Structure 1
């Protein structure tokens, strides 16, 4: 693992040099526009709530001033938990909701490497590319829900070495957050399913079997336009973006075999 990390750090440095990223940048270069940030925060509202709930339970037990960062699957910062003074300091560095932790934004960092390798990464200050993080000890690890990465948790500390026990601590914290998030999402999804009518359940089952809208309308004695209407209602009630996601959600909740 050490050789893999060392090689990835070198590859990352090379990429930063190739794109002309200056080590002395004072703030990350990429942040979300206000409207896009609002959309991201709304989409991840439940994950942010669970992150705050789980982290606040353990923060008081830690003597050192750790920074907890919640990042989405694309590397954008969703939330920060730390004491007020540190929060002001890192906000002055341009690290706030919507900040990107991709290499092209702020150079080699624990989150960008965790995104590449899809596994926990620990970085010391000297291993970061940009001066912004030259006093930061960071460990970042992905959240897996049903074998899908939904985000990353980073625990950092400035000017103090990372305590050895934090390596195991972050694994336990990620496990708690992931389990709590999955439980909350399953409860919410079950409530969404209960909003579906019997007719809509029949339609989603037949769509999952490959029936066309015309075939469904003939079998259920509905007009094709009515089938279209019900499909739109299903998407709305299940709070998904398209019908493929509606089917996937119904399968995950055992509505469809």
Structure 2
């Protein structure tokens, strides 16, 4: 069974569009098209994780498509598509480090997702940049560690029915977020081992790092809530962390 057969092909509208913007904001963004480039900060782990996740999906997408990954400011971190598509984008300055924010590229799926903080769909004619008017673009925000957000865009030539891609893109973004969260917690646990914590203290600290409540930890480990709180105080004291 293909990945598309596993997805719900038709669903209630669970995304947003340009019509969800205030009219005055829409008119302002239409005039913003001074595409520029900014230096990309270190997002190597985010980029690598995205590449690994996409590797399991992109080969099974039977239509010409493009993936665009950006940071919180809308600066492009990574592009994945056919050589022909990438060459066309390069010719108009759409490459790594280029900005797709509203101030630099007007209306597009990434700038709209940044504004609405939700999954969005932007149809061809709604785009500010001419090159994107040939495509229908979907974008989803990806919550990242340290309260940052990234954006993943999936684009097809306009006219393609994109219902199948909605659950697909949501699933891909969930995998990226889950993988990054797991790696962050693994790294934190490895650092905890440096502080000579007891077995019980490590167990409690692990659940605490996964944002589990004192009640949840007490049920899972079979200990009293007071014991959990006292154990956390010991962890704080040994690690030098102040609650």
TM over 0.5: yes
Q: Kindly indicate whether structure 1 or structure 2 has the higher relative contact order, using CA contacts under 8 Å at least 6 residues apart.
A: 2
Partner of 1:140: 139
- Check if 1:182 corresponds to 2:195: no
SS in 2 for 1:54: helix
Maintained 8 Å contact 1:142/1:149: no
2:28 pairs, out of 15, 34, 45, with 15
TM-score (norm: length of structure 1): 0.65
Distance 2:56 2:16 in 1: 36
Distance 1:3 1:93, change over 3 A: closer
1:255 deviation in Å?
7.9
SS in 1 for 2:149: strand
Determine which structure has the larger helix proportion and give its number: 1
Distance 1:48 1:175 in 2: 15
Maintained 8 Å contact 1:75/1:112: yes
1:83 deviation in Å?
1.8
* Unmatched runs of 5 consecutive residues or more in structure 1: 23-27, 199-249
Structure 1 consecutive aligned stretches of length 4 or more whose deviation exceeds 3 Å:
1-5, 9-13, 145-149, 189-198, 254-257
Maintained 8 Å contact 1:137/1:162: no
Distance 1:89 1:193, change over 3 A: farther
1:30 pairs, out of 36, 56, 80, with 36
* Unmatched runs of 5 consecutive residues or more in structure 2: 1-12, 198-234
Distance 1:67 1:196, change over 3 A: farther
Distance 1:182 1:96, change over 3 A: same
Distance 1:16 1:147 in 2: 29
Distance 1:179 1:3 in 2: 24
Of stretches 168-177 and 189-198 in structure 1, the one that deviates more from structure 2 is 189-198
Partner of 1:82: 81
